[in-house]
Every structure is written in C-alpha cells, then in structure tokens.
Amino acid sequence: MTLAIIGGTGLTQIEALTITGEERVTTPFGEPSAPYLLGELNGKKLVFLARHGNPHRIPPHKINYRANIWGLNQLGVTEIIGVAAVGGIGAEMAPAVIAIPDQLIDYSYGREHTFFADDLEHVTHIDFTEPYSPSLRARIIQAAQQAQISVSTSGTYGCTQGPRLETIAEIKRMAKDGCDLVGMTGMPEASLARELGLAYANISVVANWAAGVVEGEITMAEIEKNLEVGMANAIALLKATVFLND
C-alpha cells in the first residue's frame, strides 16, 4: 500500500517530509504539475506532488489532472489524500476549520476530466455514488480523533472553475444545492483516481468565508492568515494519518 499526498494552495511542500528522491514521469497526457517527491513522513514512505507546481504557478483550470493521477498510478500509488484550500459556505465551515468531505458537486467545465475518451474498445462508466473512499476517510477521521485534532467529519464540496472567486449569487445557489465548501481543484482529481481504482479522500482547509456569507471583501491577507493556522493542523493530521497507514 503506497500513499500519495497532493498538496494545494498553502501546501507546496511539507517541511517534515524527509525527501529521499524524486521521479519525473512521462505520461500519455503530458507533463504532471511537478516532479514527484519520494520521502518519509512520520517514519512512513509516501509520494508528494505539488498540485499547482513548485513554485505555485499553475491555476486550477490549467492543472493537468490526468497527468498527475496517471503518474501516481505509474509509481505504484494505491491511495491519495488531496489537500485543498477552500471557502466555507456552511455555518460550521469557519476559517481555519479542517473538513473531511463525503460528497461533492462539480460545477467546473472544459477540463480534461476522464481517461475514457479516445480509442476505446467499449464505453466505460464508473460508480461515483460515494466520490471519496469510505475506508480512507475513516482512517483520516480516526487519526484526527487520536491526535485530538478537531475536524468536521462530513460535508459537500462544490468544485468551481476558477481562478476567480465566486459571486454572492453563485454561493447562494451552491448553498441551496447543498454545498458546505467551495473549492477549485476537487474535480476531476477525485473521479480520475476512481477511474484508475485508486482510493481517494480530501482534506479541506477553510481559508475564508465564501462570498456573501459574511460582510466584506475577501482578501489574500485574510486567506494567508487562515491558511497558516489551518495548514499547520492539516500537516499534523497528515502525520497522524500516515502513522496509521500500514
């Protein structure tokens, strides 16, 4: 069992990760976001990938999700934890909160979102009833409890196109649809992992209230401040989860 961590905004690298090497993988779908870092976290081997590249330079709608996931599969990864900065919509999703979503709604468009598109012998459909691996989610939640890290153990992640933030009207629509969180990278990352049979779960770190949830403009200074706290807790959670990864 090999675990990979995909780090998003605020998690371009993990200082506690002891790097033992790196791999550059050529895929049929182009270049991944960055070299894959091989290393150890809390004494356990894993693979780390910076979703937006290192330095942080690839916007959400330009990420080569297919190459990223294909490359991880080629390296023998069987489980993926995607860490992402998000906006909070639900009342419990305040800035700096960590959430482990169990559902998602995809509002993105125009992205290369499937491996099953060309030169097929037959049309392929995947079951996506539960978009996140229940067993991997359960392990993350168990790790949080053991490490006494407060997390929200459910929620619906709404994936928007980006790179702009959303309007008040868009967030109101998403709230009516049942979204608790809003992010820009949750899809097609999750469905591509499912297509290759890889277990996938998401750790969402709330960087700000979504548009219109509270009064005032969303600023990068606010986001950076909340991410500093939230990502520190997320790294502690990753270390605890990796420790349970046998």
**Does the annotation place 78 within a ligand binding site?**
no
Phi, psi of 196, deg, nearest 5: -95, 5
d(CA 37, CA 25): 11
Sign of CA dihedral 60, 62, 68, 69: positive
Q: pLDDT digit string (tens) for 24-82?
A: 999 999 999 999 999 888 778 899 999 998 888 999 999 999 999 999 999 999 999 99
- How sure is the predictor about 120, in pLDDT bands with cuts at 50, 70 and 90? low
pLDDT of residue 1: 53
Q: How far apart are CA 130 and CA 65, in angstroms?
A: 20
Is 51 annotated to bind ligand? yes
Does 164 show up as a binding residue in the annotation?
no
Residue 30 CB neighbours (<10 A): 12
- Enter the pTM of the model: 0.92
Nearest to 77 by CA among 135, 5, 140: 5
Greatest extent of the chain over all pairs of C-alpha atoms, in Å: 53
Tell whether residue 210 is among the known ligand binding residues: yes
- Residues with Cβ within 8 Å of 45's Cβ and at least 6 positions away in sequence, in order, are 2, 20, 38, 39
The domain ranges of the chain are 3-113+129-244
Alpha-carbon distance 206 to 98, whole Å?
A: 6
pLDDT of residue 12: 58
Is 93 annotated in a binding site? The answer is no
Q: Tell me: the pLDDT tens digits for 137-192? A: 999 999 999 999 999 999 999 999 999 999 999 999 999 999 999 999 999 999 99
Say how far apart CA 182 and CA 75 lie, in whole Å: 30
CATH of 3-113+129-244, one of 3.30.70.20, 3.30.300.10, 3.40.50.720, 3.40.50.1580: 3.40.50.1580
